[in-house]
Amino acid sequence: MDEHSSVETVETILDVDQILLYNRNVFLSGLIDDEKADKINKQLLALSIIDNTPIALWINSPGGDIFAGLAIIDMMLGLRCPVYTFINGVACSMAAIISIAGKQRVITTNSRWMIHDGFSAMDDYFSKLEDQIQCLRDVNKQINNHIKKYTKLTIAEIENSKKGGLWLNAKQCKQKGIVDVIAKV
């Protein structure tokens, strides 16, 4: 048996994703949408049913859909076991909002965190736009309150992020109470 065949044999026996999930590691990478939120929520819920030990949610995401992200936050906060968040790469936009909801919040040395003003592509009849605008205002207020609750960011810093984005490195995240620990993986 050559080296190449032994690697293929190991890969067919061991599914890396299953091993990581079995060891209570869930991954949020890429854009957040309803399908990804549904998959993550099912994984979190299943692990919570198995036992109460902490779950690690690894984040490397540019963000995405607000409502899909809020669904992940609701699941995290509603479980009987704690969810620890690990930023390994980047947590932007909705991924940044998810990251601060962890019971223990970790960022790796070279990672970045970013929040910015929300974005909406409203495409509807004028009569319906007023309701959508009010909903977006309510969600924006909800997210701002979430940021204030879980970080040391000032209202001015949160508001200034809407002018182009607030980018923070690991050390700044620690200083601003966005994470609890800076770690090397």
Q: pLDDT tens for residues 53-93?
A: 999 999 999 999 999 999 999 999 999 999 999 999 999 99
Mean pLDDT of the chain: 90
For the chain, list the domains and their CATH numbers. 3-183 (3.90.226.10)
Tell me the pairing of strands 25-32 and 112-115: unpaired
The answer to whether 146 is a known catalytic residue is no
The percentage of the chain sitting over the pLDDT mark of 70, rounded to a whole number, equals 87
Residue 119 predicted with pLDDT over 70: no
Contact 114, 90 (CB under 8 A): yes
pLDDT of 14 > 80? The answer is no
- What CA–CA distance (Å, rounded) separates 168 from 10? 40
Contact between 177 and 102 (Cβ < 8 Å)? no
Q: Tell me, yes or no, if 116 is annotated catalytic.
A: yes
Q: Considering 5, 6, 111, 116, which one is annotated as catalytic?
A: 116
Pick the closest to residue 32 from 59, 73, 57, 65 (CA basis).
65
Is 76 in contact with 104 (CB distance < 8 Å)? no
Work out the pLDDT band at 177, boundaries 50, 70, 90.
very high
